[in-house]
Amino acid sequence: MLQVQFIRDNKQIVLEGLAKRNFADAETIIEQVLTADENRRKTQVELDNVLAESNKMSKEIGGLFKSGEIQKANILKEKTGQLKTTSKELAESLNTFADDLQNLLYQIPNIPHTSVKVGASEEDNEIIFSEGTIPNLGENALPHWELAKKYDIIDFELGNKVTGAGFPVYKGKGARLQRALINYFIDKNVEAGYKEYQVPHLVNTASATATGQLPDKDGQMYHATEDDLFLIPTAEVPITNMFRGNLMQESEFPITATGYTPCFRREAGSYGAHVRGLNRLHQFDKVEIVRIEHPENSYSALNGMVEHIKDILRELKLPYRILRLCGGDTGFTAALTFDFEVFSTAQDRWLEISSASNFETFQANRLKLRFKNKEGKSELAHTLNGSSLALPRVLAGILENYQTENGIQVPEVLIPYTGFSVID
């Protein structure tokens, strides 16, 4: 959430940033924010003055009673009663203005970093890096959903029977390969200095709001209505919220965390070959990395996260590329996002497998996550997160790019985790 003072002091910068995102009616909502803020501050001053006057009269009343000036004391007592009524009305107005302001701020996305280009959709994203060799599999190469059926390692029909579309069942070597990837990703993250956490898979409304899922993605999350809990769309939500409300010391930076969770998302996209199989699911596994950083270090930390993900993909020997997202494709809460895509040779298309983002103070403002700076003043921290990695499309890339006439080879780095070198 943007800070009101930042909007007040940098109105033009905010409008230019929202224009990069193609945010509709930016001027209208910013003016509404400034008006609501002005009303809130004006009402706060009026309330403070009334309360101060009421306190002053209360002291005078006590003195008058002591000195025997009962009539004067009663007159002032009547006035304080009127002031109490006024203060109550002002307090109610103040709460209304504050709520209006908060609701307006919830609707405004983060301001993109200066390096983010103008663009309307994923078609306008910039390819900034690519690496790896795309294998030549020949004309008989199969997409992963056909490989899964051929080798009986993932059963989409059984998942549909048990739950519905978008909930696959992993079987035999497929399940072991899935578990191997999770353990490998976690080990790589821990080796890189990230502290491992096992976190809840459901969160409360406060947590979903603090990291920006609500109200922006309301309706896209599974909601357990009786308990008012939400199934997490990513481990970013519970991990980041572990630090909600904290006041840190500068010496505590950086805070680094990693964790594996299943992820649940109601909206699974349109129908067609581009969302078949593992390409888009309602439930999938993901290993996440989260960082809480000093504002001066957050962009160097983001670059470090990108290098870390690159190292994992190099070890898996998968062809990949990195995109810097344009304004129109950057997520609601992010200031800058790098997407990683792996090439699916059998599908002849790129599949997104990771995003690494810097949210700057946007999440921290909702989280009330602050630190004491060198001057002893309270300041908002920066939060970052990245997938390292989302499993479905990584698994799809491995199945398709490592297929041979004699089975599917297992990437060398994963063999110690799987206990086998080929799926046949």
For the segment 171-201, what is each residue's pLDDT rounded down to a tens digit? 999 999 999 999 999 999 999 999 999 999 9
277 in the same domain as 350: yes
Q: Which of 77, 106, 135 is the last residue of a domain?
A: 106
Q: Confirm or deny that 415 is annotated as ligand binding.
A: no
- The pLDDT tens digits of the residues spanning 114-138 come to 999 999 999 999 999 999 999 998 8
Q: Confirm or deny that 355 is annotated as ligand binding.
A: yes
- The pLDDT tens digits of the residues spanning 355-408 come to 999 999 999 999 999 999 999 999 999 999 999 999 999 999 999 999 999 999
How many other C-beta atoms lie within 10 A of the C-beta of residue 234?
Answer: 21
Q: Confirm or deny that 234 is annotated as ligand binding.
A: yes
Query: Smallest Cα–Cα separation from 402: which of 131, 128, 203, 144?
Result: 144
393 in the same domain as 255: yes
394 in the same domain as 318: yes
How many other C-beta atoms lie within 10 A of the C-beta of residue 267?
Answer: 11
Q: Confirm or deny that 280 is annotated as ligand binding.
A: no
168 in the same domain as 316: yes
- The pLDDT tens digits of the residues spanning 50-62 come to 999 888 888 788 7
Long-range contacts (CB closer than 8 Å, 24 or more residues apart) made by 403-406: 403/137, 403/141, 403/142, 403/147, 403/346, 405/140
Helices (H) and strands (E) in the chain, counts: 13, 19
- In a domain? residue 144: yes
Q: Confirm or deny that 352 is annotated as ligand binding.
A: yes
Q: Which of 106, 136, 166 is the last residue of a domain?
A: 106
- In a domain? residue 244: yes
| DSSP H stretches of helix in 68-143 | 70-106
Q: How many domains does the chain fold into?
A: 2
134 in the same domain as 63: no
Proportion of the chain above pLDDT 90, given as a percent: 87
Contacts of 69 (CB under 8 A, 6+ apart): none
The DSSP annotation for 292-351 comes to EE-TTTHHHHHHHHHHHHHHHHHHHT--EEEEEPPTTTS-TT-SEEEEEEEEETTTTEEE
Compute the distance between CA of residue 199 and CA of residue 423 in angstroms, rounded to an integer: 32
**Position 69 pLDDT exceeds 90:** no
Q: Using an 8 Å Cβ cutoff, are 50 and 90 in contact?
A: yes
Q: Confirm or deny that 265 is annotated as ligand binding.
A: yes
- In a domain? residue 111: no
Q: Find the range with the poorest average confidence among 138-142, 241-245, 269-273, 292-296.
A: 269-273
Average pLDDT, the chain: 94
**pLDDT score recorded for residue 225:** 95
402 in the same domain as 314: yes
Using a 10 angstrom Cβ sphere, with 0-12 exposed, 13-18 middle and 19 or more buried, the burial of residue 139 is exposed
253 in the same domain as 379: yes
Compute the distance between CA of residue 295 and CA of residue 379 in angstroms, rounded to an integer: 9
| CATH number where 399 lies | 3.30.930.10
Q: Confirm or deny that 267 is annotated as ligand binding.
A: yes
| CATH number where 94 lies | 1.10.287.40
- In a domain? residue 112: no
49 in the same domain as 146: no
- What does pTM read for this prediction? 0.92
Query: Smallest Cα–Cα separation from 145: which of 351, 354, 400, 317?
Result: 400
138 in the same domain as 276: yes
- In a domain? residue 323: yes
Q: Confirm or deny that 385 is annotated as ligand binding.
A: yes
How many other C-beta atoms lie within 10 A of the C-beta of residue 54?
Answer: 17
- In a domain? residue 214: yes
Is the Cα dihedral 200, 204, 206, 210 positive or negative? Answer: positive
**pLDDT score recorded for residue 417:** 98
Looking at the DSSP bridge assignments, the partners of residue 224 are 229
How, if at all, do strands 382-390 and 349-360 pair? antiparallel
Q: Confirm or deny that 157 is annotated as ligand binding.
A: no
The helix (run of H) or strand (run of E) holding residue 383 is strand 382-390
**Position 77 pLDDT exceeds 80:** no
Q: Which domain holds residue 87?
A: 4-106
Q: Confirm or deny that 300 is annotated as ligand binding.
A: no
How does residue 273 score in pLDDT terms, banded at 50, 70 and 90? low
